[in-house]
Amino acid sequence: MGKFSGLLMVSDLDRTLFGDKSVKLILPENNTAIEYFIENGGFFTFATGRSLVAARELTVDIPKNAPAILFNGQMIYDFNKNHILFSDEIYDENIKIFLGKMCEKFPFVPKVILYKDKMFTVNDDEATENMKKKINMQGSREDFRVLPLPWVKILLAADEATVEEMMSYSSTLDLTGIQCVCSTPTLMEVMKDGVSKATGLKKLSDILGIEMKNTIAVGDYYNDASMLKAAGHAFVPENAAEDLKPLAEKVVRHHREGAISAVVEYLDGKFTDKA
């Protein structure tokens, strides 16, 4: 048994595992560290707000030996077996009413609707095309009022000031069955109420038979907060939101400098080889 046997490490992708937020960039030192962690008995995977389609392409070169947490906790997917282990979608018609209100208030903000393996756009303009590139998915424009449920979630992309305004406005609406979160300063997500990366981590730990005290979470933004609080060990990179740093056992290197490799270095000194 290796020194990391019985441990599950789950990392956020953007601004945590990825070396740069704008491109697919897996730092060699992160991959080397993950391989070392796995070779010494640990389970490694990632938790992301990204979809199944986007995550599959973006993480193909990342070593992983455990199912991934997708859609900010709404899906557990085993990429090695190409199999959905868990999925929690939105069946409440209120999400369409909510989206209609957001369209009235913010008509020019790009909006997309995500299903398990596809998406549709609400707008059809250059900003929406840019958003599709950002989330690494393609989809046609459709009338959301006739799109069948269940949906996985809605994404709305804008500048930071507009996202703050949208979050504030959403709090005045009926949120029955749904919740609004920010996964980046420029991206608002509408998800099923009660779902988070924390619930995804708990579900995954149950699947693997690992106690929560033996889970390790790494993340940088507010959609990671619940996971950081729930995990047995929490780490954030130097570039993380300041509000999250008090949640961490240790603040590690900037994501552009190999945050995950810094976590593994710390764990290497913390845990001893098991007989």
Q: With CA atoms as reference, report the closest residue to 115 among 142, 82, 80, 78.
A: 142
Q: What is the SS3 assignment for 47?
A: strand
Are 217 and 174 contained in the same domain?
Answer: no
Are 121 and 143 contained in the same domain?
Answer: yes
274 falls in which pLDDT band (50, 70, 90)? low
Residue 31, in any domain of the structure = yes
Are 69 and 204 contained in the same domain?
Answer: yes
CATH assignment at residue 138: 3.30.1240.10
Are 152 and 18 contained in the same domain?
Answer: no
The residue to which tokens 């400098």 are assigned = 257
- Residue 5: CB atoms within 10 Å: 14
Instruction: Look up residue 137 and give its amino acid.
Output: M
- Write the Ramachandran bin of 21: left for phi over 0, alpha for psi from -120 to 50, otherwise beta: alpha
Are 140 and 151 contained in the same domain?
Answer: yes
Mean model confidence pLDDT for the chain: 93
Q: With CA atoms as reference, report the closest residue to 53 among 149, 158, 132.
A: 132
Residue 3, in any domain of the structure = no
Alpha-carbon span 245 to 236, nearest angstrom: 6
* The domain boundary residue, chosen from 192, 214, 231: 192
Residue 37, in any domain of the structure = yes
Alpha-carbon span 266 to 70, nearest angstrom: 26
Residue 164, pLDDT above cutoff 70: yes
Instruction: Look up residue 30 and give its amino acid.
Output: N
Are 132 and 200 contained in the same domain?
Answer: no
Are 32 and 82 contained in the same domain?
Answer: yes
Residue 158, pLDDT above cutoff 90: yes
Alpha-carbon span 161 to 139, nearest angstrom: 27
Q: What CA dihedral angle connects 197, 199, 202 and 206, to 10 degrees?
A: -120
26 falls in which pLDDT band (50, 70, 90)? confident
* The domain boundary residue, chosen from 192, 220, 255: 192
* The domain boundary residue, chosen from 142, 168, 192: 192
Q: In this structure, what DSSP letter does residue 138 have? A: -
Q: Which pTM does this prediction carry?
A: 0.89
pLDDT in tens, 180-206: 999 888 999 999 999 999 999 999 999
CB 53 within 8 A of CB 20: no
Q: What CA dihedral angle connects 114, 119, 120 and 126, to 10 degrees?
A: 110
Q: What is the SS3 assignment for 96?
A: helix
Alpha-carbon span 71 to 202, nearest angstrom: 15
Could you tell me the residue range of the domain that residue 111 belongs to? 94-192
pLDDT in tens, 62-74: 999 999 999 999 9
Are 156 and 212 contained in the same domain?
Answer: no
Residue 150, pLDDT above cutoff 90: yes
* pLDDT > 90 fraction of the chain, expressed in percent and rounded: 82
What is the model's pLDDT at position 117?
Answer: 87
Both tokens assigned to 39: 């070779």
Q: How far apart, in Å, are the Cα atoms of 88 and each of 64, 165, 191, 196?
A: 23, 28, 10, 11
Alpha-carbon span 214 to 207, nearest angstrom: 14
**Is the model more confident about 135 or about 3?**
3
